Amino acid sequence: MQKFGTTSHLMQSRFVGRELEFEEIKGHLAESINGHGRLVFITGEAGIGKTRLITELKEYANTQNVLSLMGQCLYHENADPYLPFIDAFGDFIIDRHSAANPKNKDNPTSEDFFSMGLVGIS
Protein backbone atom coordinates (compact mmCIF):
# COMPACT_ATOMS: atom_id res chain seq x y z
CA MET A 1 0.00 0.00 0.00
CA GLN A 2 1.44 3.35 -1.03
CA LYS A 3 1.46 6.05 1.60
CA PHE A 4 0.44 9.33 0.00
CA GLY A 5 2.03 12.52 1.12
CA THR A 6 5.48 10.99 1.63
CA THR A 7 6.86 10.09 -1.77
CA SER A 8 5.92 10.56 -5.35
CA HIS A 9 7.00 8.93 -8.60
CA LEU A 10 7.84 12.39 -9.94
CA MET A 11 9.19 13.99 -6.81
CA GLN A 12 11.07 12.12 -4.10
CA SER A 13 10.79 14.83 -1.44
CA ARG A 14 8.43 14.67 1.52
CA PHE A 15 4.98 16.20 1.00
CA VAL A 16 4.51 18.64 3.89
CA GLY A 17 2.33 21.55 4.84
CA ARG A 18 -0.70 20.66 2.73
CA GLU A 19 -2.20 17.76 4.66
CA LEU A 20 -5.48 19.56 5.40
CA GLU A 21 -5.88 20.66 1.78
CA PHE A 22 -5.04 17.15 0.57
CA GLU A 23 -7.67 15.59 2.84
CA GLU A 24 -10.24 18.16 1.73
CA ILE A 25 -9.62 17.53 -1.95
CA LYS A 26 -9.68 13.75 -1.38
CA GLY A 27 -13.13 14.30 0.15
CA HIS A 28 -14.25 16.06 -3.02
CA LEU A 29 -12.91 13.15 -5.06
CA ALA A 30 -14.86 10.69 -2.91
CA GLU A 31 -18.03 12.73 -3.42
CA SER A 32 -17.43 12.68 -7.19
CA ILE A 33 -16.94 8.92 -7.16
CA ASN A 34 -20.28 8.67 -5.34
CA GLY A 35 -22.03 10.58 -8.12
CA HIS A 36 -21.93 14.08 -6.67
CA GLY A 37 -19.75 15.94 -9.17
CA ARG A 38 -17.31 18.55 -8.08
CA LEU A 39 -15.25 21.29 -9.64
CA VAL A 40 -12.25 22.36 -7.61
CA PHE A 41 -9.87 25.16 -8.53
CA ILE A 42 -6.37 25.17 -7.11
CA THR A 43 -5.05 28.71 -7.21
CA GLY A 44 -2.26 30.67 -5.65
CA GLU A 45 1.08 32.31 -6.12
CA ALA A 46 3.96 30.59 -7.87
CA GLY A 47 5.92 28.17 -5.74
CA ILE A 48 3.37 27.41 -3.03
CA GLY A 49 2.87 23.76 -4.02
CA LYS A 50 -0.14 23.69 -6.37
CA THR A 51 1.46 21.26 -8.82
CA ARG A 52 2.69 19.02 -6.02
CA LEU A 53 -0.77 18.90 -4.45
CA ILE A 54 -2.33 17.93 -7.77
CA THR A 55 0.41 15.35 -8.46
CA GLU A 56 -0.30 13.68 -5.12
CA LEU A 57 -4.05 13.76 -5.85
CA LYS A 58 -3.53 12.19 -9.28
CA GLU A 59 -1.53 9.36 -7.72
CA TYR A 60 -4.25 8.83 -5.12
CA ALA A 61 -6.98 8.96 -7.80
CA ASN A 62 -5.19 6.27 -9.80
CA THR A 63 -5.46 3.91 -6.80
CA GLN A 64 -9.21 4.57 -6.82
CA ASN A 65 -9.44 3.67 -10.55
CA VAL A 66 -10.25 7.27 -11.42
CA LEU A 67 -9.11 8.65 -14.76
CA SER A 68 -7.36 11.94 -14.21
CA LEU A 69 -6.35 14.41 -16.89
CA MET A 70 -4.37 17.54 -16.22
CA GLY A 71 -4.08 20.70 -18.26
CA GLN A 72 -1.87 23.61 -17.46
CA CYS A 73 -2.52 27.27 -17.96
CA LEU A 74 0.31 29.74 -18.12
CA TYR A 75 -0.48 33.39 -18.61
CA HIS A 76 0.40 34.68 -22.05
CA GLU A 77 -1.15 37.69 -23.68
CA ASN A 78 -3.74 36.60 -26.26
CA ALA A 79 -3.57 32.98 -25.03
CA ASP A 80 -6.39 30.65 -26.06
CA PRO A 81 -8.81 30.55 -23.09
CA TYR A 82 -9.44 26.85 -23.76
CA LEU A 83 -5.75 25.92 -23.61
CA PRO A 84 -6.00 24.06 -20.27
CA PHE A 85 -8.82 21.92 -21.69
CA ILE A 86 -6.99 21.30 -24.95
CA ASP A 87 -3.94 20.33 -22.94
CA ALA A 88 -5.92 18.01 -20.67
CA PHE A 89 -8.04 16.31 -23.30
CA GLY A 90 -5.66 16.42 -26.28
CA ASP A 91 -3.46 13.40 -25.62
CA PHE A 92 -6.39 11.43 -24.17
CA ILE A 93 -8.49 11.95 -27.31
CA ILE A 94 -5.56 11.18 -29.59
CA ASP A 95 -4.81 7.96 -27.70
CA ARG A 96 -8.48 6.90 -27.83
CA HIS A 97 -8.66 7.77 -31.54
CA SER A 98 -5.50 5.80 -32.31
CA ALA A 99 -6.74 2.78 -30.33
CA ALA A 100 -10.10 2.86 -32.14
CA ASN A 101 -8.42 3.22 -35.56
CA PRO A 102 -5.28 1.05 -35.43
CA LYS A 103 -5.04 0.79 -39.24
CA ASN A 104 -5.07 4.56 -39.68
CA LYS A 105 -1.55 5.65 -40.57
CA ASP A 106 -2.24 9.36 -39.91
CA ASN A 107 -0.91 10.83 -36.72
CA PRO A 108 -3.60 13.25 -35.50
CA THR A 109 -2.71 16.14 -33.25
CA SER A 110 -4.83 17.95 -30.70
CA GLU A 111 -5.28 20.73 -33.27
CA ASP A 112 -7.08 18.22 -35.52
CA PHE A 113 -9.71 17.77 -32.82
CA PHE A 114 -9.73 21.32 -31.47
CA SER A 115 -9.13 23.34 -34.62
CA MET A 116 -12.01 25.70 -33.82
CA GLY A 117 -11.52 25.88 -30.07
CA LEU A 118 -13.10 23.51 -27.62
CA VAL A 119 -15.67 21.25 -29.26
CA GLY A 120 -18.24 18.85 -27.88
CA ILE A 121 -16.77 15.73 -26.31
CA SER A 122 -18.89 12.70 -25.61
Give the residue from 85, 87, 92 showing the smallest Cα distance to 67: 92
What percent of the chain has pLDDT above 70?
Answer: 64
More confident residue, 80 or 116: 80
| CA 1 and chain centroid, separation | 23
Helices (H) and strands (E) in the chain, counts: 4, 0
At residue 76, the pLDDT reads 65
Q: What is the DSSP letter of 78?
A: T
> What's the mean pLDDT when you consider all of the chain?
74
Average pLDDT over residues 90-117: 64
Number of residues in the chain: 122
Query: Would the pTM count as exceeding 0.85?
Result: no
Q: How far apart are CA 48 and CA 44, in angstroms?
A: 7
Each residue's pLDDT tens digit, 44-103: 888 888 888 888 999 999 999 998 887 777 666 666 777 777 778 877 777 776 777 767
Helix (H, G, I), strand (E, B) or coil at 42: coil
Backbone angles phi, psi at 117, to 5 degrees: 90, -165
Q: Which of 12-16, 25-29, 88-92 has the lowest mean pLDDT?
A: 12-16
Domain spans of the chain?
1-68, 69-122
